[in-house]
Amino acid sequence: MAGAGRIELTGITLAGGDRVALVAENGRWTVVAPAGGDAVAGAEGLVWHPGALDPHINGWGGCDFLLDDPADHAAALATLTATGTTAFLPTLISCDEETLRAALARWQRWQAAPAVGAPRFCGLHLEGPFLAPERAGVHPREFLRAVDPVWLGRLLDDFPGLVRLVTVAPELPGAIALVAALARRWVTVGLGHTAASVQEVRAAVAAGARWVTHLFNAMAPFHHRAPGVVGAALGGGELTCEVIADGLHVAPEGLAIAYRCLGPGRLVVVSDGLAAAGMGDTPLRLGAPLAPRRGRRRGGRGPGGGLGGAARRGARFGVGGGRTAGGGGGGGVGGGGPVCAYHRGARPAARSRGPAAGGGGGGSGGARSSRAGGGGPAGGAMAGGAAEVAGFFTGEVTSGRNGAERLAGVR
């Protein structure tokens, strides 16, 4: 029974499977009790936030999302959920067509019958193969392709509704027409691995591009006379930008600039994690083994290799209220009840001011949450815009400033 200023929640199911009861008084959590057990003190140290959506993650727990069958790694993917990443877009890098089609077929089977406990599947992110060779990064250059809308259209037709985000270098010949074609299909277009000029970025935005893949990385640096993607994104109002906030890929000052320019509504923290993420000191693999680099943190981005580590680092650097990692749920993205997570620790410097703070969807099942452990909860306490970010990739955001016209242009 709940009295004035008191809320009691029973039967809450955590991401790890535990069931608890929660009590809040006067706006603060005061009791966390295992279902049927004694109360646990110290609930006031918990910070709750929507479960996070990671739209750029290449692997986790030994599973390379390009080469491995997720059905064989269901237990490992459940540990990703336990860090607070309750929804994701598995990301596939540039490869040969046979490998790509095999990966798409595996994820199509997963989409039809996902394992219980794994993050909610929101579609795939194709990072390539239409990328600038001089900004390819770890993408094998032999697998980059000239822009070919017919080839990609055939791929999308063969696997309908599977791909929700495609990263493209807009300066490539034919890229603007490709952006428009993807926009008509309601596939979100990201600009990345690019040396595009600001004029080429503006043309891509006019055609329907609405996303920037790992802002600052694998793109021409900002120059006051040649602002490029960075300048167009930070100086304009149309592009939502993902950023790897691990303190290594982008300096703290760069994160602060991005946050101040983009605000909480257009900055999204991603992990860009590899298969070694969540496994400690493990050889790196991204479609193929990667040579270790001196000073490189192995096993993913941020402490524990999870998105949560990157998000908490972002909070530490003063990037504290972004729509970071969004949230897994909302609309029909998933069902299963509200999705949330919590962790102990200092609150971020700034609270979320995102336009949508929820993270749940309709449907059956209890609420889910995740306690920090290993990589910590994805998104840290930097939540906001949960349903909105998930809708970005599913076409379910249909009105307002962040409506479908932002996702794919006017049809």
Looking up tokens 């993050």, which residue turns up? Answer: 119
Q: Are 381 and 343 in contact (CB under 8 A)?
A: yes
What is the amino acid identity at position 332? G
DSSP notation for 174-220? THHHHHHHHHHTT-EEEE-SB---HHHHHHHHHHT--EESSTTTTBP
Provide the 3-class DSSP secondary structure of residue 152: helix
Task: Write the secondary structure of 323-376 as one string of H (helix), E (strand) and C (coil).
Answer: CCCCCCCCCCCCCCCCEEEEEECCCCCCCCCCCCCCCCCCCCCCCEECCCCCCC
Active site residue 272: yes
Torsion angle (degrees, nearest 10) of CA 240, 244, 248, 249: -60
Catalytic residue among 54, 64, 246, 272: 272
Extract the tokens encoding 41: 């003190």
Task: Tell me how crowded residue 108 is: count the other CB atoms within 10 A of its CB.
Answer: 15
Name which of 283, 285, 265, 290 is nearest 275 in CA terms: 285
Q: Which are the catalytic amino acids? A: 272
